[in-house]
């Protein structure tokens, strides 16, 4: 479903408490080590408090660092207030140690509740184990013997023999949700990074299934029809998430926003390869018979549409990372555009197809993943996306419909958070556009040129224009039967009207 004019924006945030509650930043250096908040100290010193309230918009979520659970109660609350003042929120983690998890939940979520901060849970540590290792879930050869052979690290079994419900995982998720509910703690966001565990169609998975008598019986044209095999795999994968994650959590928290890494509505293609899907960083694993879309050196993969919807998720979490292959596969002489283009392709696919009432909160990472360590092994001209262009990327994602982000930058949070939070903070000056507006543009040029994104509200457009080629000149974009005239405006937004 496309975000369309007239639909209201999702209201997924909580009110920011008065900013005056934020302590002076000098507090951190003096007290951080003693009070167990050292990993956060540099971040809190480097990132300024917001000067406008978040209103109804969600905070920015940080996958790392960890919450300072060893801090004193007073310092923990002070730290959470400081994060809140900066528009930031960390995840509480459901850990295998249930007793310790609940102790921390009561303490930390209790303060979140008191401050009006959303409670966001990362359930990754307790989400795995969905595809059992037993032979009864493996493919079956012509000789009747079980086998696996996906080439993937977890070597999933037969998608035609596994069932969607897994009582061990479901029971674990259910017990945490019930315990959190019993403690009268809220649960506003539930996210998992569940990837390496379920049915999967990539690497040698299709080749293995074609040798399986069960798969061949249930998917008669499996030898030539990758799409049919993919549909079986992705359907089961989505049902596993629905039965074992979504339903038990929603039974206790019907209003929770729930999602998983890389689960989002899209246009039928995936524009990147995750690290475990490649043969090596930058080297996609290509299979004859799969209808890739080629662009320069990039291979876009067909992706089953319905995965997000079948799972029952209501929070879209696409992955917008600076994978090394983006730089390696595009030949643009403007090297920033290699990253920018690949990342915004994926972001635009998600944004264009995510319904207006579904929060869109991408996982975001701006520094290269998987680039060769040795300079001599890197392509000529190799350079990361610079911070100013990363900030531009954030702006375009916001104007295309991103409601917030989950920053994944372990150990490097400050470098990535500075441009991200700066863009988000600036966007608060245009609150009505983001709370009530509708994204109007999703295109981007296939050569470095002018990228324009816009949010439409009340007869006006909040517009960001970023130029990747000289000379810069005004552009005219047809929109709603009229024309949008976009002057050059480096590093700032414009409020424009159609002519
Ligand atoms: Zn099979």
DSSP string, 323-373: EHHHHHH---SSHHHHHHHHHHHHHHHHHHHS-TTS-B--EEEEEEES--S
Ligand 1 centroid to residue 209 C-alpha, Å: 5
Closest CA to 430 of 408, 453, 407, 405: 453
Query: Residues 216-226, buried b or exposed e (16+ Cβ, 10 A)?
Result: bebbeebeeeb
Q: Residue 462 in contact with residue 495, Cβ under 8 Å?
A: yes
What is the distance in A from the centroid of ligand 1 to the CA of 213? 7
Residue carrying structure tokens 């876009």 = 300
Each residue's pLDDT tens digit in the chain (499 positions)?
223 333 333 333 333 333 333 444 455 555 555 566 777 999 999 999 999 999 999 999 999 999 988 889 999 999 999 999 999 999 999 999 999 999 999 999 999 999 999 999 999 999 999 999 999 999 999 999 999 999 999 999 999 999 999 999 999 999 999 999 999 999 999 999 999 999 999 999 999 999 999 999 999 999 999 999 999 999 999 999 999 999 999 999 999 999 999 999 999 999 999 999 999 999 999 999 999 999 999 999 999 999 999 999 999 999 999 999 999 999 999 999 999 999 999 999 999 999 999 999 999 999 999 999 999 999 889 999 999 999 999 999 999 999 999 999 999 999 999 999 999 999 999 999 999 999 999 999 999 999 999 999 999 999 999 999 987 788 999 999 999 999 999 999 999 999 9
C-alpha 212 – ligand 1 centre gap (Å)? 5
Packing angle of the helix pair 413-427, 387-399 (nearest 10 deg): 40
User: Residue 270: what pLDDT?
Assistant: 98
The Å distance, Cα 262 to ligand 1 centre, comes to 25
Tell me the CA–centroid distance for residue 218 and ligand 1, in Å.
Answer: 9
Q: Count the neighbouring beta carbons within 10 Å of the beta carbon of residue 173.
A: 23
For 402, counting Cβ atoms within 10 Å of its Cβ (0-12 exposed, 13-18 middle, 19+ buried), the class is buried
Task: Give the closest residue to 285 by CA, choosing from 152, 155, 154.
Answer: 152
Q: Dihedral sign, CA of 197, 202, 203, 205?
A: positive
Residue 198 C-alpha to ligand 1 middle, in angstroms?
A: 14
One of 3.40.50.300, 3.40.50.2030, 3.30.390.10, 3.20.20.80 is the CATH number of 19-444, namely: 3.20.20.80
Residue 484 forms beta bridges with which residues?
A: 477
Q: What does the alpha-carbon distance between residue 271 and residue 267 come to, in Å, rounded to a whole number?
A: 10
Ligand 1 mean position to 146 CA, how many Å? 9
Question: Nearest CA to 488 among 470, 497, 498, 480?
Answer: 470
How many angstroms does the Cα of residue 136 sit away from the middle of ligand 1? 11
To which H or E segment does residue 467 belong? strand 460-467
Q: H helices of 116-211, where?
A: 167-182, 205-210
The confidence score (pLDDT) of residue 37 equals: 73
> Which distant-in-sequence residues (6+ apart) come within 8 Å of 486 by Cβ?
450, 452, 463, 465, 474, 475, 476, 477, 494, 496
| CA dist., res. 330 & res. 342, Å (int) | 9
Ligand 1 midpoint to CA 139 (Å): 4
- b/e per residue 471-486 (b: at least 16 CB within 10 A): eeeebebeeeeeebeb
Residues shown for the chain: 499
* Domain locations in the chain as residue ranges: 19-444
Q: How far is the CA of 137 from the centre of ligand 1 (A)?
A: 9
Report which secondary-structure segment, H or E, holds 216: helix 213-218
CA of 208 from ligand 1 middle (Å) equals 8
Task: Output the CA 278–ligand 1 centroid distance in Å.
Answer: 22
What's the CA-to-centroid distance between 154 and ligand 1, angstroms? 16
> How many Cβ atoms are within 10 Å of 251's Cβ, its own excluded?
12
| Centroid of ligand 1 to alpha carbon of 160 (angstroms) | 6
Q: What is the DSSP letter of 480?
A: T
Query: How many angstroms separate the CA atoms of 205 and 290, rounded?
Result: 13
β 120-122/475-479 pair status: unpaired
Continuous H helices in 354-469: 387-399, 413-427, 431-436
290 Cα: distance to centroid of ligand 1 (angstroms): 19
Give the pLDDT score at 38. 76
Q: 162 C-alpha vs ligand 1 centroid, how far in Å? A: 9
pTM of the model: 0.93
């Amino acid at each position: 479903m496309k975000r369309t004019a007239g639909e209201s924006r999702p209201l997924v945030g909580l009110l920011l408490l008065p900013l005056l509650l934020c302590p002076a930043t000098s507090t951190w250096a003096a007290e951080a080590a003693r009070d167990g908040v050292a990993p956060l100290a540099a971040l809190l010193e480097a990132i300024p408090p917001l000067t406008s309230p978040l209103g109804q918009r969600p905070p920015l979520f940080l996958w790392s660092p960890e919450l300072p659970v060893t801090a004193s109660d007073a310092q923990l609350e002070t730290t959470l207030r400081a994060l809140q003042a900066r528009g930031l929120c960390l995840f509480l983690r459901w850990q295998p140690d249930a007793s310790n998890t609940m102790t921390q939940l009561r303490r930390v979520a209790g303060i979140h509740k008191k401050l009006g901060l959303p409670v966001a849970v990362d359930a990754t540590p307790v989400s795995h184990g969905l595809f059992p290792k037993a032979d009864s879930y493996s493919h079956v050869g012509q000789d009747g013997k079980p086998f696996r052979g996906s080439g993937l690290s977890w070597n999933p079994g037969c998608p035609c023999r596994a069932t969607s419900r897994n009582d061990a995982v479901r029971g674990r998720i259910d017990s945490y949700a019930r315990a959190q509910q019993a403690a009268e703690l809220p649960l506003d966001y539930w996210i998992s990074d569940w990837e390496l565990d379920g049915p999967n169609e990539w690497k040698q998975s299709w080749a293995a299934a074609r040798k399986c008598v069960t798969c061949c019986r249930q998917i008669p044209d499996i030898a030539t029809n990758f799409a049919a095999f993919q549909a079986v795999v992705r359907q089961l994968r989505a049902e596993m998430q629905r039965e074992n994650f979504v339903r038990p959590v929603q039974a206790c928290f019907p209003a929770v926003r729930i999602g998983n890494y890389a689960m989002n509505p899209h246009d039928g293609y995936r524009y990147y390869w995750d690290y475990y899907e490649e043969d090596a960083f930058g080297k996609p694993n290509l299979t004859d018979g799969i209808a890739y879309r080629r662009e320069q050196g990039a291979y876009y993969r067909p992706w089953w549409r319905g995965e997000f919807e079948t799972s029952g998720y209501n929070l879209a979490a696409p992955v917008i990372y600076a994978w090394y292959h983006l730089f390696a596969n595009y030949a643009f002489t403007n090297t920033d555009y290699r990253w920018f283009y690949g990342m915004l392709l994926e972001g635009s696919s998600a944004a264009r197809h995510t319904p207006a009432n579904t929060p869109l909160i991408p996982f975001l990472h701006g520094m290269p993943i998987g680039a060769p360590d040795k300079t001599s092994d890197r392509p000529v001209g190799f350079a990361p996306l610079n911070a100013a262009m990363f900030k531009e990327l954030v702006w375009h994602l916001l104007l295309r419909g991103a409601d917030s982000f989950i920053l994944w930058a372990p150990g490097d949070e400050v470098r990535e958070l500075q441009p991200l939070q700066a863009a988000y903070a600036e966007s608060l000056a245009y609150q009505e556009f983001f709370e009530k507006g509708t994204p109007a543009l999703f295109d981007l040029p296939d050569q470095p040129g002018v990228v324009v994104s816009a949010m439409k509200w009340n007869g006006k457009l909040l517009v960001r224009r970023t130029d990747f080629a000289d000379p810069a000149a005004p552009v005219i974009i047809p929109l709603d039967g009229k024309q949008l005239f976009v002057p050059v405006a480096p590093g700032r937004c414009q409020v424009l009207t159609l002519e």
